[in-house]
A and B are shown apart, each in its own frame.
Chain A
Amino acid sequence: MEEKDKILDIKNLDVSFRTSAGTVHALRGVNIDLYRGETVAIVGESGSGKSVSMKAAMGLLAPNATVNDGQILFRFKNSSGEIEEADILKKDKKWIRRNINGKHMAMVFQDPMTSLDPTMPIGRQITEGIIAHLGLSKKEAWEKARDLLLEVGITDAEKRMHHYPHQLSGGMRQRVVIAIALSCDPDLLICDEPTTALDVTIQAMILDLIMKVQKTRGISVIYITHDLGVVAKVADYVNVMYAGKIVEVGNVNEIFYEPAHPYTWGLLSAMPDLSTDDVRLYTIPGSPPNLLHEMPGDAFAARNPYALAIDEKEHPPMFKITETHSAATWLLDPRAPKVEMPAELKARLERMRREAQG
C-alpha cells in the first residue's frame, strides 16, 4: 500500500475565549489527522469545541479568541505546483484568505438560511470567490458558476443566478452554499452540521450530494455533527469530542461496534433506534461542563457512571487499543477494574452489526 498523504494535521490545539463572564477554555489539546480522500467526522454535544477547532483550521476564529498552544499543519499544492506545508496558526489572516480559504479549504455552514448574503444575487456570491482565486474573467466565472449549480442539482441554473437568497428554499440555499464551497476545487471541505437546519427529507439529499462530489472530485471531507446516523453513513474515521478534547478516535467500525469510552457508550445508547424495545430513550445525565471553570481530572467524570477515583484527580491519557483506535479513559489502564459496556448497548450494537452485514 502506498504511503497515505496527510493533508491536515492538528496538533495539541489549545484555544480560549475572552468573554465578559471570564475566560472560556474551549479547546484543551485537540489532535486530529486527516488523509487525502478520506472522510472524518467530529462528533460531540454542542459546546464541545467541534466548530471552534474547524474555524481555527480555516483561520476564522472570532477576535476574542486566543490560541494558547498547538499547530495546524495543512498541506496543499501551491501555485507553482509544489506541495507546501503551512501552519495556519502562524500565518496572518490576509495570507490565509488569499491562499487557503475557498481555494484549498472550503466550508459549508450549519444554517443555509443565514449563511448567504441577503443583499447579493447568488450568482455573484459564487463568482466572487472564483474571480478572486482563479483569476477568471467575469464571463468565464459566470459560466463556471452555472455549471456548479447544475452539478449540485439546481435546475434552471441560469435563472437562479439572478435570484436573491430569500427566493430560494432552505435545501436550495444549502446547495448554493455547497456550490460556493466547491467553486475553486478545494482539497478539503469542512461541513459544519450541514443538514441540521434542514427538513429530514432534504437532509439525505444533501448528504448524498456531498458524498457524490467527494467521490467525483476526490477531496477530503470533515463533518462536524452530533448526529451519529450521519456519521455511520458518511465517515471513514470518527473523532469523539468532549469538553474541548478528543476522547475517542477510531475508524467507523471501531467506534460503532467496539466503543471504549463511556461517553461514546452514552452517545450510542442515546441514538434513536427503531428496533429497540426500550420504552425510554437513554440520555446522558447532566449537561456538558461549563468551560469557564478549569477542572482537574476527567471532564466527563461528573456524568460518568463508571467514574474512578483517579478521574477526579488526573486527566486520562490516550490509551491505544489498535493502530487506528484509541480512547482517553482510565478504564483502559491495566490497573483499572475490568468494565464492559452496558449489556443493553452491547446487544444493540450486535443487532446493528447484523443488520449492516445482512
Chain B
Amino acid sequence: MNDFEFLKNRNLQTDRNFASQPYWAGVFKRFFAKKRPVIGLMIVSVILLLAVIGPMVSGYSYREISSVINPETGKQVVARGISPRIPWLHSLLGKEPYTDFFAEKTFLFGTDDLGRDLWTRTWYGARVSLLIAFVTIFIDVIIGMTFGLISGYFGGVVDAIMQRFVEVANSVPRLVIVSVLAIFMPKGIGLVIVALLLTEWIGMSKIARAEMLKIKELEYILASRTLGAGNFNIIFKDVLPNTIGPIITQVMFSIPTAIFTEAFLSFVGVGIMLPQCSVGSLIEDGFNNITTLPYQIIPPILVLAFMMLGFNFIGDGLREALAPKLEDM
C-alpha cells in the first residue's frame, strides 16, 4: 500500500480512550491499583482467618487452664506464666530442651498468670471484638441509613425535626451515654453493643442524608416518580443502591472505632466480663501482669493495632477509589 493513500474502512466514531467501563469495575481497579488498600485487605483477611481458626488449631480452649500431673508427687501442676515456647523450633535452633513439666507443649504466645494459653485467648478475643464490631455496625447501618434517607427524602419540617434530633444526639458525649447505660444495664457485652448502637448510627445517617439530597434531584428519580413509583420504592429501590459506596467506606472507618471503643470499655471494666475475653480485656490482663509477665500484653496490642491499620487502609483506599482525584498537571 502506498504511504500516500487514504486509510479506508475506519470507524471514526469509536472512542478509543474512554471506552465505557462498568462503575464497580472501575472502583475495583482503582482500589487494587494502590499498595495500601491491598495491604489493608491482606491484614484484615489474615486476622479474620486467625480469629476463626486460631482458637481451633491450638488444642486449648480459651478458658481452659493447662495443667499436668506431676508423676512424682501425683499433684496437679498448672502452666502459670510460661513464656512463649515452640519446642520443635527450640530444638531446631539447637538449644537446650526445656526441662520443666511442659517441655513437650507448645504455647505460641505463652500462658497467662492462671495458666491459660494466650494464643487461643488472643484469637478468641479478636473474634469477640470483631463480632461485636460487625454486629453493631450492621445494625447501625440499617438504623442510620433509614433515618438519613427518610430525613433527606422528605425534607422540610420532617428533615428539620429529624436533624435537630441528630444534633442533640450528637452533642451527648459517648462517655456520658455509657455511664447512664451502666445504671440500667449489667456490665458486659450488652452494654458495649448498646453504647455503640446509640452513637455510631449518626455518622451513617449523615452520609445517607447527604447522598439522598444529591440524588433526589437527579433526573432518573423524577422519571421514576412520573411513572408512579411510591416514596418507599424511590427511597429503597432507586436511591439506596447508589449510597452503597460511601456507606461501605464509612463502615470501614466505623469498625475500627467500634473495636477501639470496645477495647476502651473493657479496659475500664464495664465491657467484657470474665471468663469471656476481648482484645480490650486482654490488654487489661496484660497490663495487670506487666511487671511479672511482660510478654503477655504484646499480642493483644499488636492485634488491635493491626486491625485498626487494616480497616483504616481499606477505608482510605475505598474513599479514593470511589471518588478519584484528578491529578495535577
Residues of A within 8 A of B (CB): 17, 19-21, 24, 26, 52, 62, 64-65, 285-290, 301-313, 330, 333, 335-337
Contact = CB atoms under 8 A, between A and B. Distances in A.
B14 A311 contact: no
A310 B329 contact: no
B12 interface: yes
Contacts of B16: 286, 302
B75 interface: no
B6 A307 contact: yes
Contacts of A302: 12, 16
Nearest to B5: A309
B7 interface: yes
Residues of B contacting A: mostly: loop
A286 to B, nearest CB: 5
Residues of A contacting B: mostly: loop
Contact of B7 (A17, A62, A285, A312): A312
Nearest to B12: A285
B225 to A, nearest CB: 32
Nearest to A337: B4
A286 B13 contact: yes
Interface of B: 1-7, 10, 12-18, 33-34, 327-329
Contacts of A288: 17
A61 B7 CA distance: 38
B18 A287 contact: yes
B12 A62 contact: no
Contacts of B328: 62, 64
Contacts of A20: 33-34, 327
Contacts of B7: 301, 307-309, 311-312
Contact of A330 (B4, B15, B33): B4
Contacts of B2: 309
A336 B4 contact: yes
Given A333-B4, A336-B4, 8 more contacts: A62-B328, A62-B329, A285-B13, A286-B13, A287-B15, A289-B17, A308-B7, A313-B3
Contacts of A303: 12
Contacts of A285: 12-13
10 nearest A-B residue pairs (beta carbon): A310-B3, A285-B12, A335-B4, A290-B17, A307-B7, A19-B327, A336-B4, A62-B328, A309-B3, A285-B13
Contacts of B4: 308-310, 330, 333, 335-337
A308 B3 contact: yes
B153 to A, nearest CB: 31
19 contacts: A20-B327, A21-B327, A26-B329, A52-B329, A62-B329, A286-B13, A286-B14, A286-B16, A303-B12, A305-B12, A306-B6, A307-B7, A308-B4, A308-B6, A309-B2, A310-B3, A311-B7, A312-B7, A337-B4
